Amino acid sequence: MIKLRIVSAIALLAAFGAVANAETVNMSGATAGSEDGRPTRGMTQASVESKYGNPVSIEAPVGEPPITRWEYANFVVFFEYDRVIHAVVKR
């Protein structure tokens, strides 16, 4: 009976050892930003303005938390406080 428990324990440990593996993903060369040129979530208003220039128009903050809308020629950026929460491409 003891041999059966030992063999069972070894088999169980071997099964967990075979399942518990991981893959490393190389992120070198990756840059922050969307592939279509829009600002990404979490960027500050200052970083958006620095990277994309002055917006064509700015809508005043609305609601609580305050949501601000900046319109550019090709996309619109929505900020909560001073951080990007969404950016959409114009059609």
Q: What is the pTM of this model?
A: 0.62
Q: Which residue is listed with tokens 């893959």?
A: 23
Residue 75 has a CB neighbour count (10 Å cut-off) of 18
Cα–Cα separations (whole angstroms), residue 76 to 20, 34, 37, 83 = 44, 14, 12, 14
**Tens of pLDDT, residue by residue, the chain (91 residues):** 777 777 777 776 666 655 556 667 665 544 455 567 899 999 999 999 999 999 999 999 999 999 999 999 999 999 999 999 999 998 8
